[in-house]
Chains A and B, each alone.
Chain A
Amino acid sequence: NAGVTQTPKFQVLKTGQSMTLQCAQDMNHEYMSWYRQDPGMGLRLIHYSVGAGITDQGEVPNGYNVSRSTTEDFPLRLLSAAPSQTSVYFCASREGGRAYHEQFFGPGTRLTVL
């Protein structure tokens, strides 16, 4: 299993540009989520999905869109990039249910918005 994969690893954008961060998992996990990590802020949840066709907002959803058309993929879209979106983005997945649930993280995408 490849686990959780993310592309690209690094990206530089200009203000106002759009892009999609890709995330895929091959573990047949129901639950997928996107976090951003900023210095001194820990990880903050952007959006999450509890299954194909179902998405919901996390703590910091503004400026980001998501969709979940398949179990495997959960792309994150920046419609009009802003310098405040400079961050490291992590995708994570886990099995469904509310009991024990280890989250598996991707390696991250480091995004810089100029």
Chain B
Amino acid sequence: GEDVEQSLFLSVREGDSSVINCTYTDSSSTYLYWYKQEPGAGLQLLTYIFSNMDMKQDQRLTVLLNKKDKHLSLRIADTQTGDSAIYFCAVPDSGYALNFGKGTSLLVTP
């Protein structure tokens, strides 16, 4: 199956940029996703990128995709305390399922 790897923790100061990285193994994925999980809640789609794109920007969020290295990153500009959450990289497998990384816990300190 698809292997999706993420670092487990990231701590940044409020106002700084956060960069969360993800690597994956399958190169046939059409879309790649970032989900956000706030404490005690389910996952919500944060953003996504189509596999023929290198970059996608959505307000404070920038997604970079390097297909050659199978590397996906999520940059959050001007990180706020409300951005503290767990962020999951998700890549479709060859069937119908999404394979999730273990999640990166982002802690934003004042």
A43 contact set on B, CB distance < 8 A: 43, 88, 100, 103
Residue of A nearest to B45 (CB): A102
Given A40-B102, A43-B88, does the pair A48, B45 have CB atoms closer than 8 Å?
Answer: no
A35 contact set on B, CB distance < 8 A: 100
Q: Mark A31-56, 1 if CB is under 8 A from B, else 0.
A: 10101000011110100101000000
Given A42-B88, A43-B88, A107-B41, does the pair A101, B101 have CB atoms closer than 8 Å?
Answer: no
Task: State which size class the interface on B falls in.
Answer: 20 to 34
Task: State the CA gap A90–B86 with chains docked (Å).
Answer: 15
A108 contact set on B, CB distance < 8 A: 41-42
A4 contact set on B, CB distance < 8 A: 42
B45 contact set on A, CB distance < 8 A: 102-103
Task: State the CA gap A4–B45 with chains docked (Å).
Answer: 14
Give the Cβ gap from B95 to chain A, nearest Cβ, in Å. Answer: 8
Cβ-defined contact, B1 with A50, below 8 A: no
Cβ-defined contact, A31 with B102, below 8 A: no
Q: Does B30 contact A (CB under 8 A)?
A: yes
Give the Cβ gap from B37 to chain A, nearest Cβ, in Å. Answer: 9
25 contacts between A and B (CB under 8 A): A4-B42, A31-B96, A40-B8, A42-B88, A42-B100, A45-B99, A58-B97, A59-B1, A90-B42, A90-B43, A92-B43, A98-B30, A98-B96, A99-B31, A100-B31, A100-B50, A101-B92, A102-B33, A102-B45, A103-B43, A103-B45, A103-B90, A107-B41, A108-B41, A108-B42
